[in-house]
Homo-oligomer: A and B are copies of this chain.
Amino acid sequence: MRKLILCAAAALVSTSYAALANDSVLQGQSDPKQWVLQTGDYANTRFSQLDEINKDNVKDLQVAWTFSTGVLRGHEGSPLVVGDVMYVHTPFPNNVFALDLNNDGKILWRYEPKQDPDVIAVMCCDTVYRGLAYADGKLFLHQADTTVVALDAKSGAVLWSVVNGDPSIGETNTATVLPVKDKVIVGISGGEFGVRGSVTAYNMNTGERVWRAYSMGPDEDILVDPEKTTHLGKPVGKDSGLNTWEGDQWKIGGGTTWGWYSYDPEADLVYYGTGNPSTWNPSQRPGDNRWSMTIMARNPDTGMASWFYQMTPHDEWDYDGINEMILSDQEINGEMRKVLVHFDRNGFAYTMDRLSGELLVAEKYDPVVNWATHVEMDKNSDQYGRPQVVAQYSTAQNGEDVNTTGVCPAALGTKDQQPAAFSPRTGLHYVPTNHVCMDYEPFRVSYTAGQPYVGATLSMYPAPDSHGGMGNFIAWDATKGEIVWSLPEQFSVWSGALATAGDVVFYGTLEGYLKAVDAKTGELLYRFKTPSGIIGNVMTYEHNGKQYVGILSGVGGWAGIGLAAGLTNPNDGLGAVGGYAALSDYTSLGGQLTVFALPN
């Protein structure tokens, strides 16, 4: 079987676009023994061809070995496996370990960056880090303080390092980087500090900056061609990143880029989403606030935008649009389409033509979503592609200092950063979701560089009149926009899913369970209580002919911020502390890797 896989990998690499992408990444992602990107592959499917562990035997899974990272607080992302070495990262201070899989996880090297701990104070949602990326013998680390470091994967030696942003004005990093061709593409965080979001490409070999594309501002800053870059099929026109803002608000406009990145080697387009406009008080920023809350398709060599789609114009709820774009081929209305599927914070799941940016499907993936009735799909309507906002839940219409209650989803969305998986075998997407609603009271706030620029008081609670829990794990048909099955969870599922050729889907829970369910039916096949709550993403690899499944535990992230940062006031942690208070009955801070396998 190993041979077959290698052949398949070779086949992929030899296609015409191979050289355009990055040979080592393509080779790595098509070799299921390895896990070279946080997202599993460029397409962000988080699907593995490994099938030794399958739906019939997964019940026999055992813990094979474990590793403590030596750091507490929220552990997002997952380890990588390249050859016989596993690379494990930690939240701030962003330590990196290289573990020898041939020697019981012996530590081959560690890299422990020295960072000013002041950066912690300007990280909105815990000191998380979504992990390393591997390409061309290098590991790319993007530290909380925005230092991008290329490490020699063999020795851990620093090959180059470059500073992407400035924590003193609230710029930080939590995202992984995307290695594509000879570049690494990196994002930035700080939407709650009035940071103007951007994406930057650095030369993979030298660290030299190649281009930067801001989310808002003049055309030359946001890298659009007013005639050729489109929004829902129409050119964006001149000054599109300026003319939906009042005055200079765009300069502190948010639209940060702290989520996931995908890449289509054939189309040669990179996909990502931008975050909320700043501040959270919508009255302070009239207009659509382009291009916050937007899916972007860009050329990786130049940064030039091919198309945009703004999901939540003039956000009033903090529904950052940064969630991953999962690339697949799907039959829509009888026609095979190259699509991207995106589960937005705003509660709608979008299926789009990833070449043209055409909107194909937009449906709620949690029935409780109530802030909008639907997304207008009539191409002839002036509302085309826009969510139809329900006045009752409009924090802008209700105005400043008015508490808008019962908005679903809460600010952390029907899904936040926790990535979904897609199985080409079932054609389904597996989506870790939140089932949480909120009260939201905007207030006037003034901007001071490096200070929180939030402007709203929130409280969160389980979706009322539902199963009482704060999450669901669902299977989604993106061709129709329908939930296929849904598993209620007591807490939001803040962990990334993994789908495998064994027709098993894995995910973690905030209480700390690793769960395995049947990809077709959702039936629970196995669960194990890991040391701490899980906000990491499940990964799998093969070593010495055996399949392993790995998961980082370590409760935190926005949902777990109460535990992670020791907050108890219900409105603290941007409103998340109260809703998730009961988590402390189930788990405690941690930072551990647990690796599972079938018995020998």
Instruction: Select which of B63, B105, B532 is within 8 A of A63 by beta carbon.
Output: B63
User: Is A592 positioned at the interface, with any CB of B under 8 Å from its CB?
Assistant: yes
**Which residues from B are CB-within-8-Å of A530?**
66
CA distance A65 to B592 in the complex (A): 13
User: B532 touching A588 by the CB < 8 A rule?
Assistant: no
User: A70 touching B590 by the CB < 8 A rule?
Assistant: yes
Given A70-B72, A72-B72, A592-B592, A65 and B587 contact (CB-CB distance below 8 Å): no
Interface size class of A (residues with CB under 8 A): 20 to 34
User: Is A176 positioned at the interface, with any CB of B under 8 Å from its CB?
Assistant: no
**Which residues from B are CB-within-8-Å of A155?**
none
Given A97-B588, A531-B531, A588-B97, A594 and B66 contact (CB-CB distance below 8 Å): yes
Given A62-B63, A97-B588, A590-B592, A68 and B107 contact (CB-CB distance below 8 Å): no
How many copies of this chain does the complex contain? 2
Given A62-B62, A72-B72, A592-B592, A531 and B586 contact (CB-CB distance below 8 Å): no
CA distance A529 to B587 in the complex (A): 22
Which chain A residues in 55-89 approach chain B with CB under 8 Å?
62-63, 65-70, 72
**Which residues from B are CB-within-8-Å of A588?**
67-70, 97, 107
**Which residues from B are CB-within-8-Å of A592?**
66, 68, 531, 590, 592
Given A531-B531, A590-B592, A592-B592, A553 and B106 contact (CB-CB distance below 8 Å): no
User: B529 touching A105 by the CB < 8 A rule?
Assistant: yes
User: Is A589 positioned at the interface, with any CB of B under 8 Å from its CB?
Assistant: yes
Q: Mark A553-596, 1 if CB is under 8 A from B, else 0.
A: 11000000000000000000000000000001111111111100
CA distance A590 to B554 in the complex (A): 12
User: Is A104 positioned at the interface, with any CB of B under 8 Å from its CB?
Assistant: yes
CA distance A105 to B63 in the complex (A): 18
Which chain A residues in 333-368 approach chain B with CB under 8 Å?
none
Nearest chain B CB to A546's CB is how many angstroms away? 16
Nearest chain B CB to A532's CB is how many angstroms away? 4
User: Is A528 positioned at the interface, with any CB of B under 8 Å from its CB?
Assistant: yes
CA distance A594 to B66 in the complex (A): 10
Nearest chain B CB to A588's CB is how many angstroms away? 4
User: B107 touching A590 by the CB < 8 A rule?
Assistant: no
Nearest chain B CB to A305's CB is how many angstroms away? 43
User: A68 touching B589 by the CB < 8 A rule?
Assistant: yes
CA distance A531 to B97 in the complex (A): 14
Nearest chain B CB to A584's CB is how many angstroms away? 7
Which chain A residues in 496-534 approach chain B with CB under 8 Å?
528-532
Q: In the complex, which of the residues A62, A63, A586 has the most CB atoms of chain B within 10 Å of its own CB atom?
A: A63
**Which residues from B are CB-within-8-Å of A554?**
68
**Which residues from B are CB-within-8-Å of A599?**
599
CA distance A97 to B529 in the complex (A): 17
User: B65 touching A528 by the CB < 8 A rule?
Assistant: yes
Q: In the complex, which of the residues A62, A589, A590 has the most CB atoms of chain B within 10 Å of its own CB atom?
A: A590
User: A585 touching B106 by the CB < 8 A rule?
Assistant: yes
Instruction: Select which of B104, B529, B532, B553 is within 8 A of A529 by beta carbon.
Output: B104
CA distance A529 to B66 in the complex (A): 6
**Which residues from B are CB-within-8-Å of A65?**
528-529
Nearest chain B CB to A256's CB is how many angstroms away? 30
Q: In the complex, which of the residues A72, A97, A105, A531 has the most CB atoms of chain B within 10 Å of its own CB atom?
A: A531
User: A590 touching B62 by the CB < 8 A rule?
Assistant: no
**Which residues from B are CB-within-8-Å of A531?**
66-68, 531, 592-593
8 contacts between A and B (CB under 8 A): A63-B528, A66-B66, A67-B588, A68-B531, A68-B588, A68-B589, A107-B585, A110-B584
Given A63-B528, A107-B584, A590-B591, 7 more contacts at CB 8 Å? A68-B532, A68-B590, A68-B592, A70-B72, A70-B532, A72-B72, A110-B584
Question: Which 4 pairs of residues, A with B, have the shortest CB-CB distance?
Answer: A68-B590, A68-B531, A70-B588, A70-B589
